[in-house]
Amino acid sequence: MTTYYVAKTGNDSNAGTSQGAPKLTLGSVLAYGFMDDGDTAEIIDEGTYSEYSLDIWADNITIAHTASELGRPVIDAGGNANHIFEIYGSPYTLVGLELKSPSNSGNPNFGQIIKKGSASDFHYFHISGCFIHDTPRLFNFSINNRTGTPSTIKDSVLYFGGSRNACFSAQHGVEISNCLFTSSADTEDEPLLLGAGAGSATDITASFSTFIHRGAAHSSDPIITSWAKVINCIVSGSGMGISSDDHTYNLLNVSGEDFRNYANDANGSAGTGDIIDTVPLFVDGAAAGSATSIAGNYNLQASSPAVNAGIDFDSIVVDISGTSRARNSPDIGCFEYYCEGCITWDDYTAQPNINFESGFVIQSPTNLASNHRFNEEKDPKQTPFSLGTKGPANLRGRTTAYKVER
């Protein structure tokens, strides 16, 4: 498995196997026959790459930018082609990229970031830490991943514009978490998420995400339609809210019916922990545009009803920005409210053992953590020095009785 480096200072005549001599274009690395299964293309700067119609031929290919705290490299189709990537191998992974502006060729039914090639499992992918915008939809096909391992979209911001189809469609094997999905006002009456339909899929989930729909309201399809499980999400905007038979701990502020049962297409009722007809109180819920800075406007205000209104799910412990989520009662949506200078303490846990067991086994060292509350903002949790195991170093690891002889 080889890593090939790409930078604006590079040259396509370079081998690309060292950061000191990278290639210039992503297309040169993705050329047919160049990469082998398991290889990585790593963009090492934050430049703009005017590239499109890039084919992914090999299996298990990763295209990544690792210095994402400095920004993201931009792959800009510039309206020159109706897609950026075409898939012939799987799985494929996209990390830390900004992807934008495929052409719709004057037809709003066209234009997508990823186009289906001829791979048998082109439905199997992982997208994380990406900023995707100025596109009608993410894929030109409905994800039908039956590999047994879910495809994932996480920690990403997706702004859709001008769509005349569902912005993202799936039938099987997809997990969305810690994402912000929005659509522009010129998006017609289509859902942000479209599932397989009544009873057809039980393995497509959306959690800890925020969905903002600004287009026209659909007469029958909610903003999230026929999705198997929706939990800890904010759904806001024009139209109906969620069509799912498993929805809990969501906050809805929509113009139509809050819930539809996709099993029988009838109006539904709130599930456990669902909050309806409530303004989420974003920092600025009117913010729109295709700049990365817009996403921060969908942070929560301190008084937001979404704060501490969620439930632990799927071992997700941080939000889209990397802020630690509160244990037991995390916030709903992609952002966890963060109060700088505030300290939130977790709960005491039950002491696992009595202090002395039979045979004079001293259990107090194993009970230390249960008798202390930790700062929720710290990860990993750090035990204070004063709670270090007592006694000589050669005795601290013992779990059995000991004696002294002369």
| In the predicted structure, residue 189 carries a pLDDT above the cut 90 | no
Q: Which of 46-60, 278-292, 371-385 has the lowest mean pLDDT?
A: 371-385
Predicted pLDDT of residue 18: 96
Whether 146 is in a domain gets the answer no
Tell whether 254 and 234 lie within a shared domain: yes
Tell whether 288 and 400 lie within a shared domain: no
| In the predicted structure, residue 383 carries a pLDDT above the cut 60 | no
**Strand order through the sheet with 266-267:** 143-144, 168-172, 193-194, 224-225, 242-243, 259-261, 266-267
Domain boundary among 291, 317, 341: 341
Predicted pLDDT of residue 312: 97
Confidence of residue 264 (pLDDT cuts 50, 70, 90): confident
Tell whether 102 and 61 lie within a shared domain: yes
Predicted pLDDT of residue 67: 63
pTM summary value? 0.83
Whether 158 is in a domain gets the answer no
Tell whether 17 and 123 lie within a shared domain: yes
Tell whether 126 and 3 lie within a shared domain: yes
User: Rounded mean pLDDT of 271-281?
Assistant: 97
Tell whether 372 and 303 lie within a shared domain: no
The residue among 62 and 285 whose pLDDT is bigger is 62
Tell whether 337 and 348 lie within a shared domain: no
Predicted pLDDT of residue 224: 94
Q: Which of 10-14, 34-38, 98-102 has the lowest mean pLDDT?
A: 98-102
User: Rounded mean pLDDT of 54-67?
Assistant: 91
Question: Which position has the token pair 């293309």?
Answer: 41
CA–CA dist 145, 200 (Å, integer): 13
Whether 85 is in a domain gets the answer yes
Tell whether 331 and 348 lie within a shared domain: no
Predicted pLDDT of residue 241: 95
Predicted pLDDT of residue 335: 97
Q: Is the dihedral of CA 148, 151, 154, 159 positive or negative?
A: negative
**Total tally of structural domains belonging to the chain:** 3
Q: What percent of the chain has pLDDT over 70?
A: 78
Whether 160 is in a domain gets the answer no
Domain boundary among 341, 360, 385: 341
Confidence of residue 242 (pLDDT cuts 50, 70, 90): very high
Confidence of residue 353 (pLDDT cuts 50, 70, 90): low
The residue among 327 and 299 whose pLDDT is bigger is 299
Confidence of residue 107 (pLDDT cuts 50, 70, 90): low
Tell whether 74 and 195 lie within a shared domain: no
CA–CA dist 301, 282 (Å, integer): 6
Whether 172 is in a domain gets the answer no
Whether 8 is in a domain gets the answer yes
User: Rounded mean pLDDT of 188-204?
Assistant: 76
Whether 116 is in a domain gets the answer yes
Tell whether 315 and 382 lie within a shared domain: no
pLDDT tens figures, 289-320: 777 888 999 999 999 999 999 999 999 999 99
**Separation of CA 390 from chain center:** 43
User: Rounded mean pLDDT of 311-332?
Assistant: 94
Strand partners of residue 75: 49, 99
| In the predicted structure, residue 352 carries a pLDDT above the cut 80 | no
Tell whether 335 and 188 lie within a shared domain: yes
Tell whether 226 and 334 lie within a shared domain: yes
First to last CA, the chain: 61
Domain boundary among 341, 365, 395: 341
CA–CA dist 220, 398 (Å, integer): 66
Structural domain that includes position 400: 343-406
Q: Minimal CA–CA distance to 322: which of 33, 14, 38, 68?
A: 68
Whether 48 is in a domain gets the answer yes
